[in-house]
Amino acid sequence: MRASFIHVADTHLGYEQYGVRERFNDFSRTFWNIVDDAIEKQVDFVVIAGDLFNKRAIDAQTLIHAIEGLRKLKERRIPVIAIEGNHDRSYYRDGLSWLQFLCYQDYIVLLAPIMQDGTPQIDRWSPDKMQGAYVDLLDGRLRIYGLPWQGSATARALEGMSQALQKVRSDEQSQGIEYRLLTMHTGVDGQVARVQGLPTMAQFQPLRESIDYLALGHVHKPYEFDGWMYNPGSTETCAAEESQWDDRGYYYVEIDTDEPERIIDPEKKERRHHAVHLRSQRRSFVRYDLRVDGLTEPTTLYTRLEDYCRREGPNYAAHKPVVHIHLVGTLGFDAGSLDQVTMEQIVQHYFQPLYARIDNNTNDQDYIPDDGDIDGRDRTVWHELERRIFEELVGLDARYLPAKEQWSTVISELKQSALRNDDAAEIAQYLREKRASLLNS
């Protein structure tokens, strides 16, 4: 038997990232490009390993865009086998998800086994009930199993699935099943540090005896193991951190069961397929960490940002990228003095982006007062300790450094006025007068 298929996951249709409508369209265009590639390659089927949609309650335009791609596959008689991811599920257990709606409309086959005590029941998918653990394709020679998102019960469901598949193995052989594929919406522990609670590689190993190709989704970082476990990654950039995984996309897989398996070593057999990971066509996404350590005033930060944008911007300007700048490190001045508009204008000028965002992830400079002559346990010296703290904090901003002693006194007076509930207008006038005299002195 020879066959081919596309394995895709985490398309997140309907995601209007940063509130930019064109990003909504980007996610749909990327999905349509993969559909077009499937048609051009004349694949036998498409597997969607969860999170077709970005959220459970999609709008009409998102549904239209999904159908636009699925309809092309249906017209060419290319079946689409899907499972629900954590973003696709209905809000209520007895509710209807939008993937179930697409199944009822005959755009997809939605696999969802009946679970009993955490164990999937291996029943054939029924077009009448629109439910079942597997579907057979290619004259019954290829079987696709599906296990949707299980959340905290994933490890138990994985163990139950392994045991259930071992029990039906002899039946598969008698039925002439030559190739077995399992699609799951989960990941492998340790692939992305912030994604916790996923099954370990050891927990997946019992599946190897029963499954030729394990099609995963959920984790947006692409990875594969030992020629049988594959995760394509997200098709578009759902978060800034994903830009570091530039090879995200989808798999094009060719199956040939007529070629005998070659023994590589006693513990491992080469699988009867060839999987090629393809980078999806998507909008350029630039993420850059701008270090601010050692900078003593806002203008020096603007200069450093402009140097980066002047160097890299022309490489992307023609593509209208999304640009996400992270300010990292320790600021040597008050972060409140940074002008967000000025920084965004610098990025706009050199990158000509669809959208620019600058996040301040810096730390304040640690304050360790030279208070060896002050015992903080003595309440009579707290006023002096407070004044010194104000003085050191004011001195972190180069604009106020020359008059930091005077400014510390001003801040102390402002605090006392506030505690006395003095008139707000009088407090503001006092601050204006002091600011005018100290900055011009």
- For residues 338 and 264, state if they share a domain: no
Last residue of a domain, one of 248, 279, 310: 279
Q: Is residue 425 part of a domain?
A: yes
Which helix (H) or strand (E) segment is 429 a member of? Answer: helix 424-439
Asked if the structure places residue 374 within a domain, the reply is no
Domain closes at, from 328, 360, 392 = 360
Residue 387 lies inside a defined structural domain of this protein: yes
Digitized pLDDT (tens) for each residue of the chain, 441 residues in all? 999 999 999 999 999 999 999 999 999 999 999 999 999 999 999 999 999 999 988 999 999 999 999 999 999 999 999 999 999 887 655 578 899 999 999 999 999 999 888 889 999 998 888 889 999 999 999 999 999 999 889 999 999 999 999 989 888 888 889 999 999 999 999 888 777 789 999 999 999 999 999 999 999 999 999 999 999 999 999 999 999 999 999 999 999 988 655 444 444 445 689 999 999 999 999 999 999 988 889 999 999 999 999 999 999 978 899 999 999 998 888 888 899 999 999 999 999 999 999 999 888 655 445 555 555 555 555 666 777 787 777 776 767 777 777 888 888 888 888 888 888 888 888 888 888 887 765
Domain ends where: 244, 279, 314?
279
Question: How many separate domains does the chain show?
Answer: 3
Q: Burial level of 334, CB count in 10 A (0-12/13-18/19+)?
A: middle
Q: Are 320 and 396 members of one domain? A: no
Spatial CB neighbours of 200, under 8 Å, sequence gap ≥ 6 = 188, 189, 190
Nearest to 218 by CA among 38, 17, 84, 58: 84
Give the span between the Cα atoms of 259 and 255, in whole angstroms: 9
Q: What is the pTM of this model?
A: 0.80
Residues 6+ apart with CB under 8 A from 253: 4, 5, 6, 7, 213, 273, 274, 275, 276
In single-letter form, the type of residue at position 61 comes to Q
Same domain, 247 and 353: no
Same domain, 207 and 251: yes
Same domain, 289 and 274: no
Assess if residue 212 is contained within a domain.
Answer: yes
Q: Are residues 165 and 234 in the same domain?
A: yes
Say whether both 28 and 169 belong to one domain: yes
Structural domain boundaries, residue 406 = 379-439
Tell me if 372 is assigned to some domain: no
Cα(226)–Cα(355) distance, rounded to whole angstroms?
Answer: 40
371 found inside a domain: no
On whether both 184 and 263 belong to a single domain, the answer is: yes
Q: Do residue 396 and residue 319 come from a single domain? A: no
Give CA–CA dist 180/140, Å, rounded. Answer: 11
Residues 152 and 208 reside in one and the same domain: yes
As a whole number of angstroms, the distance between CA 81 and CA 147 comes to 12
Q: Are residues 291 and 227 in the same domain?
A: no
Q: Is 373 within a domain? A: no
CATH of the domain at 218: 3.60.21.10
Give yes or no: residues 214 and 176 share one domain. Answer: yes
